[in-house]
Amino acid sequence: MTKIIEIKHLSKTFKVKEKEKGFKGSLKSIIKPKYKLKKAVNNINLSIDKGEIIAFIGPNGAGKSTTIKMLTGILCPSSGQAIVSGVNPAKQRKKLAYKIGTVFGQKEQLWTQLTPYDNFKFFGAIYDLKDYEIEKRIKELNDTLELNDFINTPVRNLSLGQRIRCEIAASLIHKPEILFLDEPTIGLDPVVKENIRVLIKRMNKEFGTTIFLTSHDVGDIEKLCKRVIIINDGKVVLDDSMSNLKYNYLNKKIIEVKMKEKVNLSDEDGITVLKDKGYGLKLSIDVSKKSVSDVIRMLDTDKIIDINISNEPLENIIANIYKGSK
């Protein structure tokens, strides 16, 4: 397979001002500040194949954003280097811009007063595409991402799900080889989330786009990625297949249930009672030992008023992996 991203001994160190306690300390920090060095990314080595969909995840402050900024040319590394689609981002940022696309779920890149169609024309012109190339590309994206119902509606009038779809389309107007997606489904309802995931898969399949995904949503990672890279304290602590991760770490479900009557349920093999408020229970289920349906039958379905089943928070999973890596 062709390597589209190669990272060798990549590190980034920041100079951070130290704060001292108290009024005198604060005054001293202003007049004669002291600095310390913080290593945000620490000697990362990675390679990613063309056409892969990979999850690049970790807790807040782990070094994800700093790494992505170096891969996209926003930051220069303190040492080591990255080669992205044959380009050194630190030295050839303009050339790199024609090879990558970015979508940040919490940041808009579209002009809200314009329609998606006008935005696509604008971005096409920025990337030096000719008019007929832009029109052809808009038609391809319109067909693939199903934008026709709102392509001529001002962006400010679109739903969040529609806007994210258009953000993805705008980032693909110049046929980038790599798409960096940062929390693409954040704030979306479950149905729209699933639609966006389907579109990302289709985009990868039909355009051959390499997807570099960061997300705190376990569903995004499970349904989109075959490979997961976990970073913490600036270091890669896990680089493994999704199937291995699911087998070893994604075997827990959280069940929150509200009952008509009080239920006496205690810990047993595969079931841990996290909270017991009489009529309300919160359980952790190890699905390798006990199925969710078995637990529901134990509770008696006729007595259940409300139930919510979710994955264990990704932060907990990462914390367990990180503990095991030390």
Residue by residue, pLDDT tens for the chain (326 residues) are 789 999 999 999 998 777 766 655 566 666 677 778 889 999 999 999 999 999 998 888 889 889 999 999 999 999 999 999 999 999 999 999 999 998 876 678 899 999 999 999 999 999 999 999 999 999 988 888 889 999 999 999 998 888 888 998 999 999 999 999 888 877 777 777 888 888 888 888 888 899 999 887 777 888 889 899 999 889 998 898 888 877 777 778 888 999 888 877 788 888 888 888 878 889 888 888 888 888 888 887 788 889 988 877 766 777 777 665 54
Confidence (pLDDT) at 23: 54
Q: How far is CA 64 from CA 1, 48, 182, 236, in A?
A: 25, 16, 10, 10
Q: Are 42 and 1 in contact (CB under 8 A)?
A: no
Confidence (pLDDT) at 20: 67
Single-letter amino acid, residue 102: T
Confidence (pLDDT) at 296: 85
Confidence (pLDDT) at 160: 83
Residues 6+ apart with CB under 8 A from 156: 112, 113
Q: Are 196 and 179 in contact (CB under 8 A)?
A: no
Q: Are 147 and 166 in contact (CB under 8 A)?
A: yes
Q: Which helix (H) or strand (E) holds 12?
A: strand 3-18
Confidence (pLDDT) at 229: 94
The sheet that has 178-182: what strands, in order across it? 100-104, 178-182, 210-214, 53-57, 227-232, 235-241
Confidence (pLDDT) at 289: 85
Confidence (pLDDT) at 259: 87
How far is the C-alpha of 212 from the C-alpha of 76, rounded, in Å?
A: 19
Work out the angle at residue 89's Cα, subtended by the Cα atoms of residues 83 and 93, and round it to the nearest 5 degrees: 145
How far is the C-alpha of 131 from the C-alpha of 108, rounded, in Å?
A: 25
- What secondary structure does DSSP assign to 280-303, as a single string? EEEEEEETTTS-HHHHHHHH-GGG
Confidence (pLDDT) at 70: 94
How far is the C-alpha of 42 from the C-alpha of 63, rounded, in Å?
A: 9
What is residue 307's three-state secondary structure? strand
